[in-house]
Amino acid sequence: MSSGCERSGSIPGVPTHVAFLRAINLGSIRRFPKADVEAVTLAAGFTGVASHLATGNVRLETPMRSGARVETSLERAYSADRGFEVPTVVVSPAELRRVVADAEEIGEGHEGTRYVSFLKVEPDPAAVAALEACSGEGERVVVRGRVAHLLVGAQARTARLSNAVVERHLGVATNRNLRVVQAVVRMWC
């Protein structure tokens, strides 16, 4: 079965995954340069490694089919190399395409900034309801599966809704501007 993310050099039948690393390259701490992310990922036994931007967006191939197993393997390798934890959320190309389709549907007509928070675990329905109740004037959050879609105003830095709010309700998450997620899909999926 095709993953939809083939590229030259890919090994047929080897699954492709996209990993989103949380909280790297923030200021002078938690430094994990893009080239180092790629080198550590390759050294951990993954192939077809590519990254986009310095915010921790990594494409990789592995015979492992379980996203949770890939996350655990990457987190161990990154922690051993960096000396700090690097929470990682792994999705399949099909899941990522679904995230973009959902974002386009949810954000139809929204004039502000849109973010996507990828969740480490499937959220509890009561916690989802509590988070979605945080929506207010000019800002809205919608959760679909392991993804929280944040629709905020044009001044995103002053928004009430943020990845920190998502994490308070739903646990570990890593956040990307929707434009970055769309670019990743165009490049890799």
162 and 100 in a common domain: yes
pLDDT digits (tens, 9 = 90+) for 158-169: 899 999 999 999
* Domain boundary residue, one of 91, 119, 153: 91
- Does residue 11 sit within a domain? no
42 and 74 in a common domain: yes
Contact 87, 120 (CB under 8 A): yes
pLDDT at 10: 64
Instruction: Specify the CATH number for the domain of residue 77.
Output: 3.30.70.1280
How much is the mean pLDDT over the chain?
92
Structural domain for 123, as ranges: 94-188
Does residue 118 carry a pLDDT above 60?
yes
d(CA 88, CA 146): 13
- Does residue 184 sit within a domain? yes
The predicted model gives 8-25 an average pLDDT of 84
115 and 61 in a common domain: no
Does residue 8 carry a pLDDT above 80?
no
119 and 69 in a common domain: no
Does residue 38 carry a pLDDT above 50?
yes
158 and 82 in a common domain: no
Does residue 3 carry a pLDDT above 60?
no
pLDDT at 156: 79
Q: How many domains does the chain have?
A: 2
Does residue 18 carry a pLDDT above 60?
yes
Does residue 7 carry a pLDDT above 80?
no
Contact 66, 15 (CB under 8 A): no
119 and 182 in a common domain: yes
pLDDT at 4: 44
pLDDT at 185: 97
Q: Could you say which DSSP state residue 22 is in?
A: -
Residues in the chain: 189
pLDDT at 67: 95
pLDDT digits (tens, 9 = 90+) for 135-176: 998 899 999 999 999 999 888 788 999 999 999 999 999 999
d(CA 111, CA 103): 13
Does residue 5 carry a pLDDT above 70?
no
Report, in angstroms and rounded to the nearest whole number, the Rg of the chain calculated over CA atoms: 16
- Does residue 126 sit within a domain? yes
- Does residue 5 sit within a domain? no
